[in-house]
Amino acid sequence: MKATAVAPSNIAFIKYWGKKDEALRLPLNGSVSMNLSNLLTTTTVEFNKNFKKDIIIIDGKRDLKEEGRVINHLNRIRKIAKIKLKAKVVSQNNFPKSSGLASSASGFAALTLAATKAAGLNLSQKQLSILARQGSGSACRSIPDGFVEWLKGEDNETSYAYSLFPPSYWKIIDVVVIVVKEEKKIKSSQGQKIVLKNPFLKTRLFYIKEKIKKIKQFIAKKDFPQFGELLENEALEFHAIALTSNPPIIYWQPETLKIVHLVREWRNHGLLVYFTIDAGPNLHLFCEEKNQQFLMKKLKFVKEVKKIIVNYPSEGARITDKHLF
Ligand code: DP6
């Protein structure tokens, strides 16, 4: 049986960084995110008795580094579906992989939905989110629609993501600014291990519940300035934690810092724009719909900007009939 799914990447407002259970990918803290309309992975999965082994093709190539992780995920699904058939998986990203744009989130969300359907399963959204989480933590947030909270939970069954608000609830824009196109050197899975020994992590975890509560309130009230201030504060805290880990993780490039300063300068001149940055050098700039054109005009004159991807809040993972093979 063959099935295809499309899943969005998501950007965390409050970040997931550090696991209490490595194998199950149970996070040390909850997180809040938004699904992105223009950073998408499409994945087709077919289980077939004629296949001798699993074949994984990502962005047109066999990716030996990712293969093991994908096959592990197929094994989880085969176990639930009680099948032994091998699979062919073809996956296509519409954005550069491993550039801090969270291809593992959209990738494992699309894989989870497509593979479970292809295996004849019909899982609930919560079950899909739990399963996607085991492939890549942040992928659990790409299953539900729009603005999403991942409950850290206590165990496998209680750690999943659900929709706080649908995509249409709040018209904010995430302009992804790509300043560096190379793949990142330290994978987030590695960074998440290193952070466990960081003495500042304790302090972060002490305050994070309050942060989650606040960001949800600001989204509910559509209070953009308060939302933006907290968004930036969290991004800076996350990178402070990365920087002070041992070995240190320096995700920023000079171009990253240049844009950070520009955003602050533009804001001082009245343009309401805020940044967040994940585990990579590229930035996500947030503004309200009414300021989108103005922000785009500003960015046009910045030579460090290599590419821009405009995102609206998006629905989560969904099935499509446009198979890739
Ligand atoms: C910085 O979900 O990629 O983007 O569970 O090891 O696959 P694994 O980690 P991953 O980590 C994402 C980290 C982040 C923050 C976030 O998206 O919450």
Instruction: Quote the pTM value.
Output: 0.97
Distance, CA of 43 to CA of 322 (rounded, Å): 10
- Tell me how long the chain is: 325
For ligand 1, the distance from its centroid to the CA atom of residue 241, given in whole angstroms, is 14
Q: Are 189 and 105 in contact (CB under 8 A)?
A: no
The preferred substitution site among 159, 160, 188 for testing ligand 1, maximizing ligand atoms within 8 Å of CB, is 188
Asked whether the predicted pLDDT for residue 40 surpasses 80, the reply is yes
- Is the preceding omega at residue 166 within 30 degrees of 0, hence cis? no
Decide: 188 in ligand 1 pocket, CB within 6 A. Answer: yes
In 3D space, the residue among 209, 190, 170, 188 whose CA is nearest the CA of residue 290 turns out to be 170
Asked whether the predicted pLDDT for residue 170 surpasses 60, the reply is yes
The per-residue pLDDT for range 152-167, each reduced to its tens digit, is 999 999 999 999 999 9
Query: pLDDT band at 190, cuts 50/70/90?
Result: confident
The per-residue pLDDT for range 262-318, each reduced to its tens digit, is 999 999 999 999 999 999 999 999 999 999 999 999 999 999 999 999 999 999 999
For ligand 1, the distance from its centroid to the CA atom of residue 301, given in whole angstroms, is 32
Query: Rounded mean pLDDT of the chain?
Result: 95
For ligand 1, the distance from its centroid to the CA atom of residue 283, given in whole angstroms, is 15
In the prediction, which pLDDT does 96 show?
A: 65
Q: What is the dihedral of CA 68, 145, 176, 181, to 10 degrees?
A: 10
Asked whether the predicted pLDDT for residue 99 surpasses 60, the reply is no
Decide: 102 in ligand 1 pocket, CB within 6 A. Answer: yes
Structure token pair of residue 78:
């085969």
What number of other Cβ atoms are within 10 A of residue 147's Cβ?
25
On the CB side of 105, how many CA atoms lie within 13 Å of its CA? 29
Distance, CA of 27 to CA of 189 (rounded, Å): 12
Decide: 189 in ligand 1 pocket, CB within 6 A. Answer: yes
Protein residue with its CA nearest to atom 14 in ligand 1: 278
